Structure 1
Amino acid sequence: MSPQRSPNPADGEPRSGGPGAPEVVPSGEDSYVARVARGAGISTAGQGVGRFLGYLTQILIARLFGPASYGFYTAGVAALNLAQIVSRFGMENGVVRYVAHYRARGDASRVRGTIIQAVAVACLVSVLLSAAMFFGAGFMAGWYYKEPTMAAVLRAFAAVLPFFVFMMMVLWATQGFQTVTYAAYVQQIIRPALYLLLVPLFYLFTDGIVGVVAAYGLSMLLGGAVAVYFLWRLFPEIFDPKVRPKFETRALFSVSVPMSISTGAQYLNTWSATWILAYFAAGAPVGIFNAAARTATFSTIVRFAFSGIFSPIISSLHAQGDRENMGRLYKDISRWIFMGAFAIFMVILLLSHEILALFGGDFTAGWAALILVAFAQLYSSSVGPTPRMLAMTDNQNVVMFATATAALVGVAVSALLVGLASTPDAKILGAAVGMSSAIISENTLTLAAVRRRLGFWPYNAEWLKPLAAGVLAAGAAYLLGLVLPFSAAIPTIAVVGAAFGLVYLALLLLFGLSPTDREFVGAFWNVARRYLRRGRGRA
């Protein structure tokens, strides 16, 4: 039975679930809100574990080697990520699409052929790029980075590249079977945990930052082996010689190549400021900026957690022509994303010095960059999953235009401000402005496109509740921080952060939850209880 509909409000926009709003979504276990809560709950857990392990590893590397070596490591990671995106050649999109397509038709030969061809093409390109990186490392170190140390770092990362690409392509292949569980296990838990364990081991038995890169590569190799095992569990025919692979080269490349453009633009939005900063000031400034930017992206955990489950639901509603529920879901999810992201932003605002001090005393110089990029990420969260909304409603070309335009803006602003800055601190701040410009540009363009093409707008009076709760909770936590008897970073973060969180939640409850808020909380709690019961059952 189709969901009940209600007339559009007078302003022409679907209303969010505020007090007095009509119920237009199904209720119970199969409601859109319940499905979002379940998906977001599982994804948040995976994202949270992965981000936490990765953050601990970055802190460990920074404290072991200092800001200069950490900066060289960061520049190497930027080069590695660029090379792996070029190596994939958009094949990750093709393998997901056509594995799902041929599997639905029961065509095991074409499923096997698609996986083999996508992985083989990407790995072949990665080997070629790895060789170019290795033999060109000396030239790049002298010409671009102007730092001889970078040659050894680039060569080490060149050796890592094929393992990285192989692991990622196998994980993308598993997602073609309509599950993200195995990719989450490897990407967010197994591989980061292995890396965290290997870093101190390699530090003891190797010399310098190159040893850390070796640990990075070994974690990729082991992660790739686990990924192959998961793929075999999903599709045993992958190693069955009786299933002759059939290759659909034209179809695979027709999807992969155009999407590689969008992926490249997204890379520039994330890494262009680091590249430009590395050109003008390789070493410590890059390390300090990366610590600030990486910390600022913590708020994106909330958006990513919702985006995965949001996409198929919106795609289904669009196919049904159900604009009423599309608008409601977009409004509600945008508000929920903002609630979580605003809490993380306020904690960063309160504790910017203390958080960066975890990396080492020198890293506190990036506090202004941290707050600036964190604000840009908060704005990104406030517009909701606009790129997914557009991509799932046949407006993917708009997303590509917005992403590419934002990338150009970020590169131009970063190059101008970093190039003109005369001090390391000013260069770090210039890179932060450039990165923030790219983030704000992309999200402003996609927000405007959602408004113009679909007629949806995420904001309403319900947003005043989390805003007021966050400001009041931050004031209370700030006053508490002034009277604390200790000054060490970890206890200050723990006490002030916990105080803010408790007051924030209490005020949200005091201000009142909307009907969809209550349904979301109830469904989220049900998911948590089920996992707790399973845990007790295994124990």
Structure 2
Amino acid sequence: MSETVNNSLEKIAKGSTIILIGTMVSLLLGFIGRLILIRFTTQYDFGIYCLALTLVSILTTISTMGLGEGSTRYIAYLKGKSKNKLIPNAIISSIVITLSSSALIFIIAFFFSDFIATNIFHSSELSNIINIFLITIPFTAFSGIIISIFRSFDQFTIKVYFNDIMKPIIHIIFLGIVVFFARSLSGMASAYLMSIIIPSIIISIYFLKKHKLFGVEDFQFIDKSMIKELLTFSIPLLAVSIILTLMSWTDTLMLGYFKTAKDVGIYNSAVPLANLLTIIIGSLSFVYVPVMSQLYGKNQIRELGRSYVVSTKWCFIGTLPLFFILFVFPDFILNLFFGPRYISASIVLQILSLEFIINSYFGLNYYTLMTVGKSKFLMNCSLVGAVMNILLNIILIPIWGVAGAAIASTLSFVFIEILMSIKLYTILKIHPFTTTYLKLTILSIILISIFSTINDHTVASFWTFLVISFTFMLTFVLSLLFAHILDDEDVIITSLIKKKLGFNFFR
């Protein structure tokens, strides 16, 4: 293995570990916040909350103009090309675009919020919650672009401190205050608002103190040509972000249209649990994009391809144990977190878990295509998937309700994964499906089938859950060793795990 691949994998492994820890902390704190919301609101109010947050999330994505990923990739690519003199202009231009677009989106959306609430979703209560959430748009967009700038310089801990830890802690604190004094839905929404504003102000102050780190001296300088270049590169990524966000929330919106707010609440109790399966790929991608962008800038395609293959394998390995828990024990998990009212979402949790494990199985194809500049293809690919998702929702929701929405989402995203993998192989001749990866695939299917059958023939209890889960994890790890699933190049990842655990488990 070349020294370049070795260094790249080591950087990805170390950086991803930091992000993974931060993500896990964020998810834990986020679950506490969502648990408070669910426990102290009705299913109807929780559905209203989710609808409003969905709409504002889509608008926030639009306001970033694709620069969340675009600026990271572009700045890292400039570093790889040794064009450091252009980096300060790229930073300033990214900030100017983000602030301008987010302010414009906020004004337009605020003007139409009443119309959206009453004429589309037929809920006057929704209007007030939307207006509260709309205030978060410029703050979320600005803090996001600052984190992206730090990310392009391998400053990954900034996201952990400000976004993964500070934000959910503030949310929980203000939720607690609302629950103690007045359990109103507007109060819950205001708690979320404060969790966005306070970290945004703090990270802005921090950035102003650290701006010389990036070679930025004059914040008044605006390079019009750089703005044009950034927009040309990022607008296709904006389209992808909008489409993927719409796809992520299409199920919620269409359930709200075809069914009831109660159905929306039931569906969204399963969504955050299934989203846990994205923590590994999310952690890897946060570090993967700037590292691979620099390799591409240096035209080191072979090294890029090998890093992709190894990263994808570990993405799947890291995700599989959690998939097993969610897929085999959906009733237990939903009851544990949200109570017996939400056990009806079990089938949704199983279907969405399949969606996300398949996403992990195909790995980092999306981020690799973005790294090599195929943003237009990603846009077209996502558009096809979005249309497919809408059509499937129209067909399946009236028939199967929340389960139909989950099936529509899963089929659409799997279709996109297949298209991206085909494109990646076509242009770079790389794919993750090595002999060892196929052995891992067969092994995983066999083990899950066996332990799922065992669970079906046992009495459901907390101890049954613990014993079966632990036995599966142990069997899976031992199988990786004795079936020779791990290649020589996996030593970087396993060495990092060994250091974290404190013993040579993988020798």
Counterparts in 2 of 1:322 and 1:259: CA distance versus 1, 3 Å:
closer
Q: Does residue 146 of structure 2 align to residue 167 of structure 1?
A: no
Q: Distance in 2 between matches of 1:271 and 1:352?
A: 22
Q: Distance in 2 between matches of 1:47 and 1:67?
A: 27
Between 1:321-330 and 1:386-395, the stretch displaced more is 321-330
Q: CA deviation at 1:302?
A: 1.3
Q: Which residue of 1 aligns with 2:65?
A: 89
Q: Distance in 1 between matches of 2:83 and 2:425?
A: 35
Counterparts in 2 of 1:496 and 1:150: CA distance versus 1, 3 Å:
farther
Please give the residue correspondences for 1:79-478 in structure 2 after superposition, counting only pairs within 5 Å. 79-92=55-68, 96=72, 105=84, 110=89, 113-114=92-93, 117-133=96-112, 136-137=113-114, 139-175=115-151, 177-235=153-211, 243=218, 245-256=220-231, 257-319=235-297, 321-357=299-335, 358-418=337-397, 420-421=398-399, 426-463=400-437, 464-465=439-440, 467-468=442-443, 471-472=446-447, 475-476=450-451
- Tell me if structure 1 keeps the 8 A contact 2:75–2:87: no
Q: One-letter code of the match for 1:504?
A: F
Q: Which consecutive residues of structure 2, in runs of 5 or more, have no partner in the other structure? A: none
Match of 1:506 among 478, 483, 486: 478
Counterparts in 2 of 1:117 and 1:522: CA distance versus 1, 3 Å:
same
Q: CA deviation at 1:213?
A: 0.7
Q: Distance in 2 between matches of 1:389 and 1:188?
A: 25
Q: Distance in 2 between matches of 1:169 and 1:175?
A: 10
Q: One-letter code of the match for 2:173?
A: L
- Tell me if structure 2 keeps the 8 A contact 1:355–1:493: no
Q: One-letter code of the match for 1:380?
A: N
- Percent identical residues: 17
Q: One-letter code of the match for 2:3?
A: P
Q: CA deviation at 1:167?
A: 3.1
Q: Which residue of 2 aligns with 1:17?
A: none
Counterparts in 2 of 1:170 and 1:523: CA distance versus 1, 3 Å:
closer
- Tell me if structure 1 keeps the 8 A contact 2:70–2:237: no
Q: CA deviation at 1:144?
A: 1.6
SS of corresponding position for 1:65:
coil
Q: One-letter code of the match for 2:369?
A: L
Q: CA deviation at 1:215?
A: 0.4
- Tell me if structure 2 keeps the 8 A contact 1:91–1:122: no
SS of corresponding position for 2:431:
coil
Q: Distance in 2 between matches of 1:401 and 1:112?
A: 28
Task: State TM-score, norm by structure 1.
Answer: 0.81
Deviations 1:321-351 (A, max 9, x none): 5554444333222221111222221111111
Q: One-letter code of the match for 1:360?
A: G
SS of corresponding position for 1:52:
helix
SS of corresponding position for 1:457:
coil
Q: CA deviation at 1:61?
A: 1.2
Aligned-pair RMSD on alpha carbons?
A: 3.3
- Tell me if structure 1 keeps the 8 A contact 2:60–2:137: yes
SS of corresponding position for 1:235:
helix
Q: Which consecutive residues of structure 1, in runs of 5 or more, have no partner in the other structure? A: 1-23, 531-539
- Tell me if structure 2 keeps the 8 A contact 1:380–1:440: yes
Q: Distance in 2 between matches of 1:518 and 1:116?
A: 40
Counterparts in 2 of 1:529 and 1:130: CA distance versus 1, 3 Å:
farther
Between 1:317-326 and 1:457-466, the stretch displaced more is 317-326
- Aligned pairs, how many? 493
Q: Does residue 41 of structure 2 align to residue 69 of structure 1?
A: no
Deviations 1:135-169 (A, max 9, x none): x32x3233222233323322332343343334334
Task: State TM-score, norm by structure 2.
Answer: 0.86
Q: Distance in 2 between matches of 1:369 and 1:98?
A: 38
Q: Does residue 26 of structure 2 align to residue 50 of structure 1?
A: yes
Q: One-letter code of the match for 1:72?
A: I
- Tell me if structure 1 keeps the 8 A contact 2:72–2:289: no
- Tell me if structure 2 keeps the 8 A contact 1:92–1:172: yes
Counterparts in 2 of 1:366 and 1:175: CA distance versus 1, 3 Å:
same
Between 1:448-457 and 1:320-329, the stretch displaced more is 320-329
Q: Distance in 1 between matches of 2:24 and 2:305?
A: 28
Q: Which residue of 1 aligns with 2:493?
A: 520
Q: Which residue of 1 aligns with 2:469?
A: 497
Between 1:117-126 and 1:188-197, the stretch displaced more is 117-126
Q: Which residue of 2 aligns with 1:3?
A: none
Deviations 1:296-328 (A, max 9, x none): 121111112222333344444445555544443
Counterparts in 2 of 1:32 and 1:528: CA distance versus 1, 3 Å:
farther
Q: CA deviation at 1:128?
A: 0.5
Q: Distance in 2 between matches of 1:482 and 1:409?
A: 38
- Tell me if structure 2 keeps the 8 A contact 1:41–1:524: no
Q: CA deviation at 1:207?
A: 3.6
- Tell me if structure 2 keeps the 8 A contact 1:37–1:524: no
Counterparts in 2 of 1:27 and 1:79: CA distance versus 1, 3 Å:
closer
Q: Distance in 1 between matches of 2:117 and 2:380?
A: 33
Please give the residue correspondences for 1:13-32 in structure 2 after superposition, counting only pairs within 5 Å. 24-26=1-3, 30-32=6-8
- Tell me if structure 2 keeps the 8 A contact 1:167–1:224: yes
Q: Distance in 1 between matches of 2:431 and 2:69?
A: 29
- Tell me if structure 2 keeps the 8 A contact 1:60–1:359: no
SS of corresponding position for 1:246:
coil
